[in-house]
Amino acid sequence: MAAIALLLRATSRPAVTAPLGALRRAADTAWFGNSVAVRAYGDGVGIRNGVLQGIRARVSSGSGESGFVARGVVSRGTASAALAWGGKGVGGAGVGVGAGAGDGRIRVSSLVRSSLRCYYEISKARLSLLVVTTAGFGYVMGSGEVVDWVGLAWTSAGTMMAACSANAFNQIMEIANDSRMKRTMRRPLPSGRMSLPHAVAFAVTMGVGGVATLAYQTNSLTAELGAANLLLYTLVYTPLKQIHWINTWVGAVVGAIPPMMGWAAATGQIDAGGWILGAALYFWQIPHFMALAFLCRQDYAAGRYKMLSLGDLSGRRTALASLRNCIYLLPLGFLAQDCNVASGSFGMQMALLSAGFGASAASFYFSPTSVTARKMFRVSLLYLPIFMAAMIYQRIPNPNLESHDRLPSEASENEGVSEYQKQLVYTDLKGIEKDMKQPWSFLPPIASLSAAPFPFLPAPEDRTFQQS
């Protein structure tokens, strides 16, 4: 049997570049059998300048790994040639056809690694993890003295699946746009590393699984919020990006819901504390994404997206929107104190932190350049984790969750005391039944004093008047 040897560097051949079709066929073709096994592996295989990139090949035979490893990225102008291993070679196309003796097999590790990489990219794993972090933050803030770690884990799992589904649907609907942008053209769908039906199946599975997990493991309110956020992101925010720049504010609503989901999962409702967390995430997102939109405005223009920064030649409107929302963050710490969500000096701490955030936005407003926009973007990345950590450290346990606050040992101890009290009551009732047979038990309470056999001895107990 024959197998395809991929894109190997030759030291004595002139530089050649394989056509895209030949490279694709070489990457997709491999055979099991009594011949050479070709293993393609590495961090992603993309298409750039009309050729396949990121390929490293290893040729091995059944008698041992009598092959070699070719490293490096193939692009136009690099020295690459075909090398036939034990057979004929096609040098002009940059592809070698080889045959060898022994039993060979294609190792599936490279396929698994490549698939996981595609799932990682199409789900925007880092963004999804940020969403899960905010949901977990809301769950902890809404908990009582003791955090239900199992409930937190289920909430995080369901939120993660729903976020992955939303991001996958987003990329499915924006294949053409992503292919025009340098920042997104190497994603699985525009680069052809994942098929459209595969991506749709992944998105549907994650969405249904995430909402079902939230419904069965937390409560219906959390599941409804998760489903509504998934639909809002997919059906409203994603198409609105190509229609009007108001999409940034709609996207901020999407980002504000996960901490409210966490709060609802812990409490079963959304009260003042949940709204404060959602408001904090909403106001934080505006300057964060305004800075990103200003820095990537040329890329967004190439992708045909509608952003405020594209129509704002001076950058002042973009910076003013950022500054305005930083100001809105100032009183939230004091509101958290008034609503008994956080204690101590949290209000003053958050006011100072928000003032620093606002100072970066003011700098961006007075000098709207890429330098000041990048500075504000970095400050936004610092603001959120500091805000969440400080609020968790100074949180006030939810007083409405006393039943959730008991430790298992305390619960078992209380149950044991309850059983003991029941036993005492049962014993008293048996004693009453026995004493009813004594003559003195039918006498009035005062008359029972004369029933003592000796005057100096205490009167017998009247169990009918003893409280359990």
Which of 239, 295, 285 shows the shortest CA–CA distance to 258? Answer: 285
The CATH number given to whatever domain includes residue 344 is 1.10.357.140
Last residue of a domain, one of 107, 140, 175: 107
Residue 26 lies in a domain: yes
The answer to whether 38 touches 4, Cβ cutoff 8 Å, is yes
Cα 299 to Cα 241, 294, 296, 437, 457, distances in angstroms: 14, 10, 5, 97, 101
Q: Looking at the structure, do residues 400 and 435 belong to the same domain, yes or no?
A: no
Last residue of a domain, one of 55, 79, 107: 107
Name the H helices within 174-296.
175-178, 188-191, 196-217, 220-231, 238-240, 247-267, 272-295
* Tally of structural domains, the chain: 3
Q: Per residue of the chain (468 residues), give pLDDT as tens.
A: 444 443 333 333 333 334 444 443 344 333 333 333 333 333 333 434 333 444 333 333 333 333 333 333 333 333 333 333 333 333 333 334 343 334 445 567 788 888 899 999 999 999 999 999 999 999 999 999 999 999 999 999 999 999 999 999 999 999 999 999 888 899 999 999 999 999 999 999 999 999 999 999 999 999 999 999 999 999 999 999 999 999 999 999 999 999 999 999 999 999 999 999 999 999 999 999 999 999 999 989 988 999 999 988 889 999 999 999 999 999 999 999 999 999 888 999 999 999 999 999 999 999 999 999 999 999 999 999 999 999 999 999 988 775 444 444 444 444 444 454 555 544 555 554 555 444 444 444 444 443 344 344 444 444 444 444
Q: Looking at the structure, do residues 156 and 209 belong to the same domain, yes or no?
A: yes
Q: Looking at the structure, do residues 29 and 153 belong to the same domain, yes or no?
A: no
Which of 229, 219, 228 shows the shortest CA–CA distance to 269? Answer: 219
The answer to whether 243 touches 375, Cβ cutoff 8 Å, is no
Q: Looking at the structure, do residues 243 and 336 belong to the same domain, yes or no?
A: yes
Residue 414 lies in a domain: no
Residue 18, domain extent: 2-107
Using CB atoms within 10 Å of the CB of residue 79, give its burial: 0 to 12 exposed, 13 to 18 middle, 19+ buried.
middle
The shares of helix, strand and coil residues in the chain, as percent rounded to the nearest 5, are 60, 10, 30
Name beta bridge partners: 39.
58
pTM of the full predicted structure?
A: 0.66
Q: 127 φ, ψ to 5°?
A: -65, -40
- What DSSP state is assigned to residue 90? E
Residue 413 lies in a domain: no
The answer to whether 431 touches 408, Cβ cutoff 8 Å, is no
Give CA–CA dist 52/38, Å, rounded.
Answer: 17
